[in-house]
Structure 1
Amino acid sequence: MKYVHEFRDKEIALGVAKAIGTEVDLARPYRFMEFCGGHTHTISRYGLEDMLPNNVRMVHGPGCPVCVLPAGRIDMAIHLAMRPEVILCGYGDLMRVPGSQGASLLKAKARGADVRMVYSTIDAIRIAEENPAREVVFFAIGFETTTPPTAIMIRLAEKKKLSNFSVFCNHVLTPPAMQNILKSCGIRNIGHVEIDGFIGPAHVSVIIGTTPYEFVAEEFGKPIVITGFEPLDMMQAILMLVRQVNEHRHEVENQYRRAVIRDGNLRAKEEVSNVFELRDRFEWRGLGPVPYSGLRLKPAYTKYDAELRFDMGELCVADNPACKCAAILRGIRKPVDCELFGKICTPVTPMGSCMVSSEGACAAHWTYGRFRDHQQRPAS
């Protein structure tokens, strides 16, 4: 396929790998975190770690919005869905995310809750129009990538004068999470991991551009390279990070220039700023409360805020203590470090969000990594 095979050329990849091997300083480690789960899957699917020198280590990061959604927010959605007047709409990857005590939206549906999987925000609007006697709630979730469609949906609901529609907002922002990881804040006694640079998220950066990462690079002295999802994108980004580390630079570089520009998508950002404002704090699974990392509806649109409409109290519940998902999301552990992985915890019976989400690190290792005789490297 044109413009796909070109980014999967084996010989070019081997050439980039050779350049990385030539340029690394063997006297020091290089530890790069890929923030996005799509990048984790690329690394695992194409075996990119096996092409890197032993002192270059890829650290799996938060992955995706489903991975970092805390169990308490899932419980809040379940309690809402069990109300007889409510139709709860959400994307498919939310259905099996575990809340507390093994609960999930899919299990709530089996118990009689009206939970409906939708493919777009327009589907939720249509359901509200077709069910005027019911309260339709859209379970909004996502990084900056999926926030603009939610904003447009809310303005459309206002235009259509839908009085039976609201949004349970769980949209979060990536730069504050990067800052949190580098500060090693959040959950106490979970430890931290040393990071020398970030592979920045691709789809997120299409929306917000590269500018929002600049304060992270400057404040912490860490290079960030925004890159695409193809194997050659990843290999080139790693080479760019190695060069920045060697040259003692900490810049935001854009490898994904075919899709990302510095200022991002101005129209999308305008739609978001019209409808949303920052929360003081928002809890992330694995990171704990992260200041100014979540969004809520502005006062002009609070009539569409499900948390206010249904007086939803914030729930904070503990994760399954046997599940290492929180540590995996921080990059402290790998999927194979979890005793549940591949035994009790599988895609059919997930114990944590990292296995549920198609972009989770555990799902990536289950799909690709477990079939390879991969020698685990000692921690750097």
Structure 2
Amino acid sequence: MKYIDEFQDPELARRLLDDIHTTVTRPWALMEVCGGQTHTIIRHGIDQLLPEQVRLIHGPGCPVCVTPLEVIDKALAIAARPGVIFCSFGDMLRVPGTDRDLFRVRSEGGDVRVVYSPLDALRLAQENPDREVVFFGVGFETTAPPNAMTVYQARRLGISNFSLLVSHVRVPPAIEAIMTSPDCQVQGFLAAGHVCSVMGVEEYPELAERHRVPIVVTGFEPLDILEGVRRTVQQLERGEHTVDNAYARAVRPEGNPAARAMLADVFEVTDRAWRGIGVIPDSGWRLSERYRDYDAEERFPVRGITTAEPAACRSGEVLQGLLKPNECEAFGTTCTPRTPLGATMVSSEGACAAYYLYRRLGGPVSTTTAQEATTVG
């Protein structure tokens, strides 16, 4: 398949690994800021094939995982209301709230539906004018444009029984929060290529310069990850800290102007809480004043819902890169995909889910074992 098979070539992977091994002379810690990249790394054993001096830290790149518990509980409260059709992508249904999840709400009689596009939810609103239809708008800059377009269409078509529960977050402020944390160990970033395909790269040079860290825009296949690591290590070894686009087949410097214009019209930047991390200034979006009538938090009485994170779940440390999933006492025991304590265990992009799915249950394995077990290609 074009742009898939050629980016899983094992011979090219070996060449890139050889180049990284030859280049590195000292320890470096790199963070990937995308849950999809994390799954590629763990699935293919890339972190175990790299030189011991190159350590990969998993960042807060799973949009489902960083959705705060408070917002999950608001979603549950809205979904349980009579007369509401609550729509969501499937990966949100098993994310635990304080005492239940959306599957439980559905089993108790709530009309919870899985959709494949926010426009499916808008269509349901058109077909059910006597019902309130709510779409759970979660994600980074990648999923925000279609959600914005749906609200724009609702207003243009005069559909008044549709609303959006918004929990959109932005990557650059998260990088800022990571770099200013007293516990920060990160020396370079693999930036998420799909985010940059929408927003471009103009927000990153100032971050790279101020914090003196290289930021390499990276794709999602094994060779993408290895090339991103190679370019980041080369910069670190040379003492450089610039923004480098290693995903030029999909990312233009200016991003997608039409998508950015839609975001600027429908949303406005706001402070946003991240699950297990806390509030990061200017790290999210909310509906702008022009579209505030479509805000589910304004339409339903959920403003007073507050929550406390479960003490047994250490997903906040995982999302900050301070803890590997298999270093958590609950991992694989009291916390499994069947009995999750947090979203990182059930989301398709969660780090805990990746470690569990690909049987990374114990400590690190030897390089020899990793080379024998790798599935690159």
How far apart are the structure 1 equivalents of 2:301 and 2:203?
33
Deviation at 1:311, TM superposition (A): 3.8
Q: Which residue of 1 aligns with 2:10?
A: 10
For residues 83-102 of structure 1, the aligned pairs below 5 Å read 83-101=81-99
Change (3 A) 1:40 1:326: same
Q: Is the 8 A contact 2:85 2:112 kept in 1?
A: yes
Unmatched segments (≥5 aa) in structure 2 = 368-377
Question: Partner amino acid for 1:323?
Answer: C
1:82 aligns with 80
Instruction: Name structure 1 gaps, 5 residues minimum.
Output: 185-190
Shift of residue 85 of structure 1?
2.3
The partner residue of 1:310 within 263, 278, 300 is: 300
Q: Does 1:146 pair with 2:143?
A: yes
Call closer, same or farther: CA 1:278–1:373 in 2, change over 3 Å. Answer: closer
Distance in 2, matches of 1:210 and 1:116, equals 36
2:214–2:243 CA contact under 8 A, matched in 1 = yes
Say if 1:49 and 1:33 are closer, same or farther in 2 by CA, change over 3 A: same
AA aligned opposite 2:92 = L
Letter in 1 for 2:172: P
Structure 1 outlier segments of 4+, above 6 Å: none
Q: Secondary structure at the match of 2:219?
A: coil
Tell me which residue corresponds to 1:187. none
User: Given that residues 345 and 352 in structure 2 are in contact (C-alpha distance below 8 angstroms), is that contact kept between their aligned partners in structure 1?
Assistant: yes
Instruction: Answer yes or no: is the 8 Å Cα contact 1:76–1:314 preserved in 2.
Output: no
Decide whether aligned partners of structure 1 residues 220 and 373 sit closer, same or farther in structure 2, where only a CA change above 3 A counts.
closer
The question of 1:244 aligning with 2:235 is answered yes
* Secondary structure in structure 1 of the residue aligned to 2:185: coil
C-alpha change, 1:136 and 1:144, in structure 2 (3 Å) is same
User: Which of 169, 192, 198 lines up with 2:166 in the alignment?
Assistant: 169
Map of 2:55 onto structure 1: 57
Change (3 A) 1:321 1:376: farther
- For residues 6-47 of structure 1, the C-alpha deviation after alignment (integer angstroms, 9 at most, x for no partner) is 11111211111111111111xx32000001011111111111
How many equivalent residue pairs?
A: 367
Q: Structure 1 residue 309: deviation in Å?
A: 1.6
Percentage of identical aligned residues: 47
Q: Which amino acid in 2 is paired with 1:259? A: A
Offset from partner CA, 1:283-334 (integer Å, 9 cap, x none): 0013210001111111111111111122431544222211111100000000
- Post-superposition CA distance 1:229-254 (Å, at most 9, x none): 11111111111111111111111100
Q: TM-score, normalised by structure 1?
A: 0.93
Which letter does structure 2 place at the counterpart of 1:289? V
SS state at 2:280 partner:
strand
Letter in 1 for 2:27: P
Q: 1:124 aligns with which of 113, 121, 125?
A: 121
Cα offset, 1:168, TM superposition: 0.8
Write the deviation string for residues 247-296 of structure 1: whole angstroms up to 9, x where unpaired: 111111000000001000001101111111111x1100132100011111
Give per-residue Cα distances to partners, 1:72-97, cap 9 Å, x unaligned: 11001111112112211111111111
In the aligned structure 2, how far is the partner of 1:76 from the partner of 1:171?
15
**What SS does the corresponding residue of 2:165 show, helix, strand or coil?**
strand
RMSD (Å), alpha carbons:
1.6
Cα gap change, 1:373 to 1:293, in 2 (>3 Å): closer
Q: Residues of 2 paired with 1:215 and 1:117: CA distance?
A: 40
